[in-house]
A = this chain, B = another copy of it.
Amino acid sequence: MTALLIRDIRPMGGAPADILIEGGRIARIAPAINAPGVAVEDGGGAIAVPGLVEAHTHLDKTLMGMGWYANAVGADLGAMIDNERAERRRLNHDPHRQSMRHALALAGNGTTHIRSHVDVDTEAGLAAIEGVLQTREALRGIVEIEIVAFPQSGLMIRPGTADLLDRAMSLGADLVGGLDPCGIDRDPKGHLDTIFDIAERHGRGIDIHLHEAGELGAFSMELILDRTRALGMKGQVAISHAFCLGMPDWPRTEALLAALAEQDVAVLTTGAPSREVPSVRRVLDAGLRMGAGCDGVLDTWNPWNRPDMLDRARILAQKNNFRSDADVALALHVCSTGGAEVMGVADHRLEEGRPADLALLPGTTLAEAVATGGPVFLTLKGGQVTGRNGHPVMEAP
């Protein structure tokens, strides 16, 4: 792997410096580095941060490039699930092509790591898993993709789904997913026993969608904690959304946060504007790992989300009533290093010796970059330029 010198960037918005990359890693960060013969990129005074991390999305769902999807479904969860299954067929949705478009758009916008839930159900079988596995291979070295086998249409209520999840893990999915054990599956014990069993057999972690609010979500969370403890899965479980942690009963959520911290259960958030959500400050103060994601992008669910973690940092910060520059920088941290920690990428920092996974952001400060938004000036993955001015270097199908 060749060396690269990036001139005139400002690490984390600080004083100007250069970054020398060798062997895919950050070799040096210093002003006016002298490196004769090394290829040079002009950073143009941009802010350098660790690559952005999309830690909760659905690469297999997007309709990007397929024309505007007129949504007539509204906001009922069951109806949205059924609608999506039907529309996948009607639109002849290709999960490989679509996940390529989505993942590359993210790379163009500064993203170096993605955790994607991917649907598994008794109608489409493993087609989505196969498509995204193919994308993961095609984009190796461009963006790192973790795949969560996700029973979007329910598990206990759709016999045969557990076998499909099991096969998805054998095919190469990284984590076992789950979904509202009470709200959707109506059988929390059955649901959780099943996914923990599959995870244990494959020696893999879990990332479960938990939209359940208030006490219902807290109950499901307790059942998740019970199993995490019993199976010795400390540090291997993440809960996505975790809306119940946003309920106003602070003593209750304080105790839940302490229990999650004790089992090193991570929390992933989208900062959902219409819901009660976990407070970034409280989750981090409790010592939990926390990442963020844009959720599905331009799909049958809603038209709001963009493949853009700077946009997500803005949404997350607004939801958390972050106003000061320091607080805004914290939101950006969750959208980068925080998400990497959830994905088990421990060294995702702008430091010498770390992998050269970087995003160069426009703006004078981190807060301005988040408030103003992209385009991201440059994305680098392992020292290779993967995005320029908001566009991926590799062309999407």
Contact = CB atoms under 8 A, between A and B. Distances in A.
Interface of A: 67-68, 70-75, 80, 271, 273-275, 298, 301-304, 314-315, 317-328, 363-365, 367-368, 370-371
A314 B325 contact: no
B68 A365 contact: yes
Contacts of A315: 273, 318
Given A68-B368, A71-B324, A74-B323, 8 more contacts: A70-B365, A72-B326, A73-B324, A75-B324, A273-B315, A274-B321, A303-B367, A304-B318
Given A328-B303, A368-B303, A321 B75 contact: yes
Nearest to A365: B68
Query: Most chain-B CB neighbours within 10 Å: which of A67, A74, A315, A318?
Result: A318
Contacts of A364: 67-68
Nearest to A67: B364
Q: Which 9 A-B pairs have the closest CB atoms?
A: A303-B371, A274-B321, A273-B318, A302-B323, A68-B368, A273-B319, A273-B273, A71-B324, A68-B364
A15 to B, nearest CB: 16
A77 to B, nearest CB: 11
A71 B274 CA distance: 26
Copies of this subunit: 2
A71 B325 contact: yes
Given A73-B323, A74-B323, A363 B68 contact: yes
The main secondary structure of chain A at its interface with chain B is loop
Contact of A301 (B74, B323, B326, B368): B323
A215 B298 CA distance: 39
Contacts of A325: 70-72
A318 B316 CA distance: 13
Contacts of A365: 68, 70
A322 B74 CA distance: 7
A327 B74 contact: yes
B273 A71 contact: no
Given A324-B74, A371-B303, A319 B274 contact: yes
A318 B304 CA distance: 7
A318 B302 CA distance: 9
B318 A371 contact: no
Nearest to A319: B273
A275 B315 CA distance: 13
Contact of A75 (B71, B303, B314, B323): B323
Contacts of A321: 75, 274-275
Contacts of A304: 314, 317-318, 371
